[in-house]
A and B are shown apart, each in its own frame.
Chain A
């Protein structure tokens, strides 16, 4: 506990409450404290970074307008005046107001407990383990140029003039590695990333195999022949595409687009084998949080069930506008940015999926897209996507020749409607908007560009 920060929190909250009174006015004060330790080991030696974070963020609400300001403890006393000056510059929008207390929850404010310091020994052990895994996966042809492992612990709390009082904790760990592959055909390097809620949950062996494929396939394979072929998308590839679908389900923002794509809900958005879920407690998901950035408890929200749109992700403002419950999807990317509607772990539900081996066996002639070589291009409005991948040819249910380039592009809706099978091997990647996950996907007779 830190008395200075606790007193500051109370003081700023009192000032904000005094400044914003009335039926259409209110305030929300947020505080975050955290520790982060990162160890980077590379050709140029080892770097240890030990960083603390402490910050306050205030949102004032007045007549549907908001003003947001954020500062560390040194600048916290200016928050109310700064946010108050910004309120009139905003545009009035229905739903902007201080969150109310949650049913059955206490309205007492408790001091924020300092988070524990991350375990540095474990970070070093993780690096050693990953180095070993890369050696095994790369069979001597892959060099680890640099690896960074980060672990962080965080405590957060929120108080609103509407009566909400909540505090919660979260943790995150990540590994970022730069690997280089060499063969007689040349060199290739790539950066690979894995994120998890805890250090021990980082998928080290899987990331090492992925890293080896990422740098060796482009060097050792041949470009995929064009024409129609059954397409097997590795979870790493499919998940990146799934993550880009999330904005379709953000509150009421894409209502018109969804309406047009499904002819007013009469058609399915995707193949009936697909069910898409957002959950901040999904096993293996990189995001794990009991509450969102507005203090709303997170939940499992089904947005697409057997191809049909059934739900939306909401924060308190969009919940009011769409007249549904808040699903706990107000995301604070950092303590100093306003909460925004976003996803937590957004993934294709693998329930009822087949094992990836069974999916592979079902393919007579096709391709297995194992890794992404470039960031995916997805244009939701134009219904277009483009993935540059590498992988393997599939012949009679078995992986055959290595393929250095498999370009997959076309209409996104067509791809999603053609998915005929899913695996049971759900894997997550970190997307720009949170975790994104998918099992292996089978798309029959897709025309490769």
Chain B
């Protein structure tokens, strides 16, 4: 067992990925990958040791424990007779692969009814990850549910755009949703340039999820220095209108970032990030909060150490209808889809790369505009939220892997539409 002052766990993972590469002409090739690994993590004071070995057999665990012991001079902390609970995988973990390939082919055909002038480069993957955390007191299955992921590029009429999608729904509905999203993304890119400069913005529910993810989620992921984030520096302060309620909810099983236990074996908890407009708790792991961790330690794979990360960012509905937000906006932009975003928690600056948007003129939706970048300051943007959010909460379809410090973890979210005043829109010069 562990020595006094030490804590740690063993972590075992088996990841199976079946992928298809596809073009506008249909499926090109298929691949199947299975990787398993075992890690032993040991924490003492401010030091941490992670020893990772290939394979998830008892021998891999023994090897990792032995090597960890060699490095720390301590005895192995796990009982060697711990019951083997991770069953062997079948030769094919996706027994319905043949029917899935046919469904996928059908979904692509439906999305690409007229492939003329389109160049599609897409990778569609089914990902299943089994993770087990063994601590001195418990054994817990952890990790996110199996999911379907699609990413790639679409080129049409001399312009290229990125495409991403993920779903944890069963194969049929997930592919149906993929087909619809792809159809939408394949529409011709508009020629109208977006307005530059300060603009009022109505975010669609899907766009709003990315806005909250960047402006509230990342700044509230715990770091060693609590003063390093613009929101953690104003803990318990009112930063948004009183009807804004934002939580991170790993327990929302319908969203892709869901799990019951985090990657350190801590039971996942729903964490209020903004309550009645006031800054709430930080997302924490054992390193930043010790036994008070709220279950947000996440790792991309067994070789990387867990860090506090978001799971599913969920925003409560308000009382505004989306049409009312557009009317209230007057002149501005309606953001339908955000391809990616970034935030610097230290300065509070954020950038959202908008893939699809419509202009709003005199309180009504006008024509679509080309892609642009929205930038702003977190505290200023939160204070410029105008009126209650929309009354309908919808999940984001485009949000998939969130990459921070080079580590990508699947995330999800659901939010209502939102009106934010005076963000800065920047467009490329033509």
Alpha-carbon distance A46/B46, docked complex (angstroms) = 6
Pick the contact of B33: A40, A43, A71, A383 (CB < 8 A). Answer: A71
A316 CB to closest chain B CB, in angstroms? 15
Q: Is there contact, CB below 8 Å, between B429 and A410? A: yes
- Which of B169-177, B275-283, B344-352 makes up part of the contact surface? B344-352
Q: Which of A86-94, A324-332, A347-355 contacts B (4 or more CB under 8 A)?
A: A86-94
- Please state if B159 and A379 are interface contacts (CB–CB under 8 Å): yes
Check A74–B36 contact: CB distance below 8 A: yes
B140 at the interface (CB under 8 A from A): no
Known: A82-B92, A83-B32. A381 touches B155 (CB 8 A): yes
Known: A73-B55, A91-B25, A145-B225. A178 touches B47 (CB 8 A): no
| Cα(A70)–Cα(B17), bound, Å | 10
Asked if A45 contacts B52 (CB within 8 A), the reply is no
Partner of B428, one of A36, A43, A50, A409: A409
| A447 to B430 CA separation, bound complex (whole angstroms) | 11
Question: Given the complex, which residues of B lie within 8 Å of A81, measured CB to CB?
Answer: 91
Q: Report the stretch among A9-17, A187-195, A394-402 that lies at the interface.
A: A187-195
Q: Which of B25, B34, B89: most chain A Cβ within 10 A? A: B34
Contact status of A377 and B353, CB under 8 A, knowing A53-B54, A74-B56: yes
Name the contact of B160 in the complex, choosing from A69, A336, A379 (C-beta under 8 A).
Answer: A379
Cβ contact within 8 Å between A187 and B346: yes
Type the 1/0 row for A346-389, where 1 means its CB is closer than 8 Å to any CB of B.
00000000000000000000000000001101011111111000
Q: A48 and B71: CB pair below 8 A? A: yes
Q: Say whether, besides A188-B346, A189-B345, A68 and B31 are in contact (CB < 8 Å).
A: yes
The answer to whether A191 and B405 have CB atoms under 8 Å apart is yes
On whether the beta carbons of A382 and B159 are closer than 8 Å, the reply is: yes
Q: Which residue of B lies closest to A383 (CB)?
A: B158
A15-50 interface bits toward B, Cβ cutoff 8 Å, 1 = contact, 0 = none: 000000000000000000000100010111111111
Interface size on A, residues (CB 8 A): 67
> Contacting B91 at CB < 8 Å: which of A78, A187, A337, A449?
A78
> Cβ of A113 < 8 Å from any Cβ of B?
no
Interface centre among B29, B37, B67, B353 (most CB of A within 10 A): B29
Chain A residue nearest to B68 in the complex (CB): A50
Give min CB distance, A95 to chain B, whole Å.
Answer: 13
B292 interface residue (CB < 8 Å to A) = no
Q: Across the interface, which residues of B come within 8 angstroms of A190, CB to CB?
A: 344
In the bound assembly, the distance between CA atoms of A50 and B48 in angstroms comes to 11
Whether, in the assembled complex, A67 has its beta carbon less than 8 Å from a beta carbon of chain B, the answer is yes
Q: Which of B27, B35, B54 contacts A52 (CB 8 A)?
A: B54
CA distance A384 to B160 in the complex (A): 10
Which residues A48-80 have CB closer than 8 A to chain B? 48-55, 65-75, 78
B303 at the interface (CB under 8 A from A): yes
Q: Are B31 and A338 in contact (CB under 8 A)?
A: yes
Q: Is B53 an interface residue (CB 8 A)?
A: yes
The answer to whether B334 has its CB under 8 Å from any CB of chain A is no
Contact flags B31-63 to A (C-beta < 8 A → 1, else 0): 111111101000001111111111111000000
Query: Is B29 within 8 A of A82, CB to CB?
Result: no
Measured in the bound complex, the distance between the Cα atoms of B406 and A410 in whole Å is 29
A286 located at the interface, meaning its Cβ lies under 8 Å from any Cβ of chain B in the complex:
no
Bound: A59/B127 CA distance, A: 20
Which of B159, B160, B287, B344 contacts A189, CB < 8 Å?
B344
B32–A69 CB distance below 8 A: yes
Q: When A68-B31, A85-B92, A409-B428 are in contact, do A188 and B405 touch as well, CB less than 8 Å?
A: no
Q: Are B55 and A49 in contact (CB under 8 A)?
A: no
Which one of B29, B52, B305, B346 contacts A91 once the chains associate, using CB atoms below 8 Å? B29
Chain B residues near A42: list those with CB within 8 A. 224
* Binary per-residue interface labels of chain B (411-430) against chain A in the complex, 1 for a CB within 8 Å, 0 otherwise: 00000000000000010111
**Which residue in chain B gives the minimum CB-CB distance to A34?**
B54
Q: Are B224 and A67 in contact (CB under 8 A)?
A: no
Within 122-170 of B, Cβ neighbours of A (below 8 Å) are at: 155, 158-160
| Interface SS of chain A | strand
B160 close to A381 (CB less than 8 A): yes
Q: List the A side residues contacting B406 at CB < 8 Å.
A: 176
Chain A contacts of B17 at CB under 8 A? 336
Task: Report the separation of the CA atoms of residues A393 and B44 in the bound assembly, to the nearest whole angstrom.
Answer: 50
What 1/0 flags go to A285-310 for Cβ under 8 Å of B? 00000000000000000000000000
Residues of chain B lying within 8 A (CB to CB) of residue A68: 29-32
**In whole angstroms, what is the CA distance A45 to B37 when docked?**
25
Separation of A45 and B305 alpha carbons in the complex (Å)? 13
Determine whether A118 belongs to the interface, using a CB cutoff of 8 Å to chain B: no
B170 → A minimal CB distance (Å): 21
Once bound together, how far apart are the Cα atoms of A73 and B38, in whole Å?
Answer: 13
B92 A381 Cβ-Cβ under 8 A:
no
Q: Which of A46, A145, A384, A409 contacts B48 (CB 8 A)?
A: A46
B-chain residues with CB within 8 Å of residue A383 when the two chains form the complex: 158
In contact, B34 and A382 (Cβ under 8 angstroms) = no
Contacts of A71 in B (CB 8 A): 33-35
B234 within 8 A of A: no
Asked if B342 and A374 sit within 8 Å, CB to CB, the answer is yes
Question: Is B28 an interface position by the 8 A CB rule?
Answer: yes
Report the Cα distance A338→B29, complex, angstroms: 10
Selected contact of B31 from candidates A43, A73, A74, A86, CB within 8 Å:
A86
From the candidates B26, B48, B52, B429, name the one contacting A47 in the complex (CB within 8 A): B48
Give, as a whole number of angstroms, the nearest-CB distance from B94 to chain A. 11
Which residue from chain B places its CB closest to the CB of A186 in the assembled complex?
B347
Interface centre among A47, A54, A69 (most CB of B within 10 A): A47
Among B28, B89, B91, B405, the residue within 8 A (CB) of A90 is B28
The answer, yes or no, to whether B20 is at the interface (CB within 8 Å) is yes
Q: Tell me whether B347 and A187 are in contact (CB under 8 A).
A: yes
The distance in angstroms between the C-alpha atoms of A43 and B223, with both chains bound, is 8
Among B34, B224, B344, contact of A72 (Cβ-Cβ < 8 Å) = B34
B327 at the interface (CB under 8 A from A): no
A residues near B400, Cβ cutoff 8 Å: none
For A46, list chain B residues within 8 Å (CB).
Answer: 46-48
In the complex, A381→B155 CA distance in Å? Answer: 7
Inter-subunit contact B29/A75 (CB<8 Å): no
In the complex, which of the residues B67, B225, B288, B347 has the most CB atoms of chain A within 10 Å of its own CB atom?
B347
Pairs A–B under 8 Å by Cβ, sample size 20:
A48-B49, A49-B305, A50-B50, A53-B303, A68-B31, A71-B35, A82-B92, A90-B30, A91-B26, A188-B344, A188-B347, A188-B349, A191-B405, A374-B351, A374-B373, A375-B342, A383-B158, A386-B373, A409-B429, A449-B429
Q: Which 7 A-B pairs have the closest CB atoms?
A: A45-B46, A44-B224, A189-B346, A43-B224, A68-B31, A51-B52, A90-B29
